[in-house]
């Protein structure tokens, strides 16, 4: 498995197409565009 830390802006197209899978967003809340992706605060 390969892992990359990247901003949603540059990877959103690939995430929405299913080419890559977002495991988590680094903010304290889920982002509206990816409401099914958990936020870092939920993993703490």
C-alpha distances (whole Å) from 25 to each of 13, 14, 16, 17, 40 are 15, 15, 14, 17, 6
Domain ranges of the chain: 8-43
pLDDT > 90? residue 17: yes
pLDDT for res 5: 83
At residue 40 the predicted structure's pLDDT band, cuts being 50, 70 and 90, is confident
The residue count for the chain: 44
Task: Decide if 40 contacts 24 (C-beta within 8 A).
Answer: yes
* DSSP single-letter state for residue 39: B
What percent of the chain shows pLDDT beyond 90? 23
pLDDT for res 43: 67
At residue 4 the predicted structure's pLDDT band, cuts being 50, 70 and 90, is confident
């Amino acid at each position: 498995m390969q892992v990359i830390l990247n901003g949603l802006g540059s990877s959103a197209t690939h995430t929405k197409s299913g080419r890559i899978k977002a495991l988590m967003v680094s903010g304290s809340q889920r982002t509206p565009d990816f409401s099914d992706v958990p936020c870092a605060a939920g993993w703490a």
